[in-house]
Amino acid sequence: MIDKINRLKAEIDALKASKADEIEALRIKYLSKKGEISLLFNDFRNVAAENKKEVGKLLNELKEKALNRINELKENLDSNSQENNLIDLTRTAYPVNVGTRHPISLVKNEICEIFGRLGFSIAEGPEIEDDWHVFSSLNFAEDHPARDMQDTFFIQRSPDILLRTHTSSVQTRVMEHSQPPIRIICPGRVYRNEAISARAHCFFHQVEALYVDKNVSFADLKQALLFFAKEMFGPDTKIRLRPSYFPFTEPSAEMDISCNLCGGKGCSFCKHTGWVEILGCGMVDPNVLEACGIDSKIYTGYALGMGIERITNLKYQVKDLRMFSENDQRFLEEFESAH
Ligand SMILES: [Zn+2]
């Protein structure tokens, strides 16, 4: 019997199994009720009394050895299967498609970055607005055409809930809740009730800037505009201001830049004038400051606003406004990769 125990010990030491069912078969072979070790325990009663102590000890050692060995095999199997699940670093990589930034985002980021260097911080507000923030606080007359259903998407007529027609509503919201100095830039989407064509859309994007403080003058506005034009369109860019009218600024102006396609000589893009209109601006009307709780005897300010699509067209010569919202990948992939 001792011989048999020793033979089994050697056998168990040499056991190998790489699959769960193989290990289970070994467990049955040695440790089940009819397994070899159990049979030895059955034979134990036939061992001579004087040898019982020695044989008993060996038998218990054998059983423990078999249990340990089977558990060891199971543990190896578990850790191996975990390793198999890890990524195979030697495999050829899948091609990774890097997306591109939308041209509107590229230009918006660039505008915000340029004004960021002048100390402007970004402010945002809701796209669903009320009459007060979009029109009344901004000095729009009761009968102003922008308040008409023809131009504005109203969600509810009374109380007046509408999709904002410009980002100036964000300026109102900031001025209502803070006191000067205020130096903000407001990028965002705006909505107007227009027929969709190559040159007009029912939604587009704006960036507006607002600076309110003591002694802010028209000269400050002009300097900021010149800085922006040169940073955006190149150091040779010239600007010109033409008198204009907006309800919320007085005086108001529209700014042209020298045509960056022909360098001011005249081409079909600038309609042979050498100039291209890019934004509206002016000194904040005192009525607007007062409506927002800012003392217009102490503070003055300037505001300016531009359509991002317009600037993008100038920079990338996109002929059709609809391209920006059609999600045509052939168009979008022409722009810089997102990193
Ligand atoms: Zn031109």
Q: In this structure, what CATH number is given to the domain that contains residue 286? A: 3.30.930.10
Task: Count the Cβ atoms, other than its own, within 10 Å of residue 321.
Answer: 19
Ligand 1 centroid to residue 276 C-alpha, Å: 8
Ligand 1 centroid to residue 275 C-alpha, Å: 7
For 151, how many CA atoms within 13 A lie in the half-sphere containing its CB?
A: 10
Mark the binding-site residues, compressed into ranges: 250
Q: Of 169, 170, 176, whose CA–CA distance to 120 is shortest?
A: 170
Tokens 């060891």 sit at which residue?
A: 72
Ligand 1 centroid to residue 241 C-alpha, Å: 18
Q: Is 7 exposed, middle or buried (0-12, 13-18, 19+ CB in 10 A)?
A: exposed
In this prediction, residue 226 carries a pLDDT of 96
Tell me whether residue 147 is in a domain: yes
Q: Is 76 helix (H, G, I), strand (E, B) or coil?
A: helix
Ligand 1 centroid to residue 85 C-alpha, Å: 62
The partner residues of 76 in beta bridges, in order of sequence, read none
Ligand 1 centroid to residue 258 C-alpha, Å: 8
Same domain, 68 and 140: no
Tell me whether residue 60 is in a domain: yes
Same domain, 76 and 124: no
pTM metric for this prediction: 0.69
Tell me whether residue 189 is in a domain: yes
Ligand 1 centroid to residue 200 C-alpha, Å: 21
Ligand 1 centroid to residue 34 C-alpha, Å: 98
Q: Spell out the per-residue pLDDT of the chain, length 339, in tens.
A: 888 888 888 888 888 877 888 888 888 888 888 888 888 888 888 888 888 888 888 888 888 888 888 888 888 877 766 666 677 778 787 777 778 889 999 999 999 999 999 999 999 999 999 988 998 888 888 877 777 766 888 888 777 899 999 999 999 999 999 999 999 999 999 999 888 888 888 999 999 999 999 999 999 999 999 999 999 999 999 999 999 999 999 999 999 999 888 888 888 888 899 999 999 999 999 999 999 999 999 999 999 999 999 899 888 888 888 899 998 888 888 887 655
Q: Which of 85, 119, 137 is the last residue of a domain?
A: 85
Domain that holds residue 76: 2-85
Tell me whether residue 141 is in a domain: yes
Q: Which of 56, 85, 114 is the last residue of a domain?
A: 85
Tell me whether residue 203 is in a domain: yes
In this prediction, residue 257 carries a pLDDT of 93
Tell me whether residue 225 is in a domain: yes
Mark the binding-site residues for Mg(2+), compressed into ranges: 250
For the chain, how many structural domains are there in total? 2
For 182, how many CA atoms within 13 A lie in the half-sphere containing its CB?
A: 28
Same domain, 107 and 77: no
Tell me whether residue 94 is in a domain: no
Ligand 1 centroid to residue 239 C-alpha, Å: 14
Same domain, 285 and 222: yes
In this prediction, residue 83 carries a pLDDT of 60
Same domain, 59 and 116: no
Ligand 1 centroid to residue 273 C-alpha, Å: 7
Ligand 1 centroid to residue 228 C-alpha, Å: 20
Same domain, 263 and 159: yes
Q: Of 255, 229, 247, 61, whose CA–CA distance to 142 is shortest?
A: 247
Ligand 1 centroid to residue 238 C-alpha, Å: 13
Sheet holding 154-156, edge to edge: 128-130, 161-163, 154-156
Q: Which of 35, 55, 85 is the last residue of a domain?
A: 85
Same domain, 157 and 230: yes
Ligand 1 centroid to residue 219 C-alpha, Å: 27
Same domain, 41 and 113: no
Ligand 1 centroid to residue 100 C-alpha, Å: 29
Ligand 1 centroid to residue 268 C-alpha, Å: 6
Same domain, 116 and 222: yes
Same domain, 58 and 207: no
Tell me whether residue 96 is in a domain: no
φ/ψ (deg, to 5) at 205: -125, 145
Length of the chain: 339
C-alpha torsion sign, points 143, 196, 126, 315: negative
Cis preceding linkage at 251, omega within 30 = yes
Same domain, 57 and 181: no
Same domain, 160 and 30: no
In this prediction, residue 337 carries a pLDDT of 66
